[in-house]
A and B are shown apart, each in its own frame.
Chain A
Amino acid sequence: METKMTSSGRAVVTLPTDTQILITRDFNAPKHLVYKAWTTPELIKRWWSGDRGAVVSIEVDLRVGGRWRYVMTANEGFEVAFHGEYRDIVPNERIVSTEAFEGIPDPDAAAALTTNTFTEKDGRTTVTILVQHKNQEHRDMHINSGMEVGLQEAMDHLEQVALSLR
């Protein structure tokens, strides 16, 4: 049987509220495989750093109360690390965990709560990542560290306005 290499579309990032980031992406694979790639350290190593660097280590203790830690070396040479604790796990369906960026002072105080949802339809899976920050400062730091921004609305909405004016 032939399996075509298919790119499944693009990641869409929106900012539904002052304190949230929502990332959505479709994958051309059933959800049990997406879940596997999402939770198996050897597989996470292959995708998590994207083009931005190389993965140094991936630790996953996939149980409620268990901890995770992802570390990469960015192309620019510095190390980037995140860690957190699993709060809710429904295999193949949903993972809720805290997410702290270690590059800021007192990372855990600024930790976000991230809900990953896997929804399958016709053999394809939609992944949604809802990042809930405690306040807007933390959210804005996350999306672009240090930049003082008060952007609150879904980007698509602004994009629409921008495009209508070209």
Chain B
Amino acid sequence: MARAATTADAFNAVAEPRRRQILDVLAAGERPVNDLVSLLGLAQPVVSKHLRVLREVGLVDVRDEGRQRVYSINGRPLKPIHDWVKSYEQSWSERFDRLDVVLDELKQTEIRHGDKDDQQR
């Protein structure tokens, strides 16, 4: 299967560990490019390339401040990722809610019978 372009959507954009790192840094507050370069220990062109991808999918915004370009995070495009994993989590939660009911019954039965033999099984 061919991979979608990194700029197709937020899913692909955050597949790259360095880009997630950038988002982590920006989550704490906006930063000029130079800060990101020194914090991440990467070459400026590499950081700029990642920032361009993040901008294209709308995960970061940029503004000019004097001679500096300052980047900030925009979390909105992360929402579909969040929803996607949550729906998988939801199906497990439903399953486990039913398991809770089964377990409560097993506990009741054990209490009624004083049946500790189960523990040896």
Question: A109 an interface residue at 8 Å Cβ cutoff?
Answer: no
Select one of B15, B82, B93 contacting A152, CB under 8 A: B15
Question: Using an 8 Å CB-CB cutoff, how does the interface string of A141-166 with B read, 1 for contact, 0 for none?
Answer: 00110011111110101111111111
Look across to chain A and name the residue whose beta carbon is closest to the beta carbon of B116.
A32
**CB-CB contacts below 8 Å: B65-121 with A:** 73-76, 78-79, 81-82, 84-85, 87-89, 91-104, 106-108, 110-111, 118-119, 121
Q: How far is the CA of A143 from the CA of B98 in the complex (A)?
A: 21
Main secondary structure of the interface of B (DSSP, over half): helix
- Complex CA–CA separation, A140 to B93 (angstroms): 19
Q: Report the count of interface residues on B (CB-CB < 8 A).
A: 48
Closest residue to A153 on the B side, CB-wise? B20
Q: How far, in whole Å, are A160 and B93 apart by their CA atoms in the complex?
A: 20
**B99–A13 CB distance below 8 A:** no
Whether a CB of chain A sits under 8 angstroms from the CB of B7 is no
Across the two chains, which residue of chain A brings its CB closest to B6? A150
Could you tell me if B88 and A150 are in contact, using CB atoms closer than 8 angstroms?
Answer: no
A134 vs chain B, min Cβ distance (A):
14
- B17 contacts partner chain A, Cβ-Cβ < 8 Å: yes
**A1-43 with Cβ < 8 A to chain B:** 1, 3, 5-8, 10-13, 15, 23, 25, 27-30, 32-34, 36-37, 43
Other A-B pairs beyond A36-B106, A152-B14, 6, CB < 8 Å: A6-B100, A7-B97, A8-B100, A33-B106, A50-B97, A150-B3
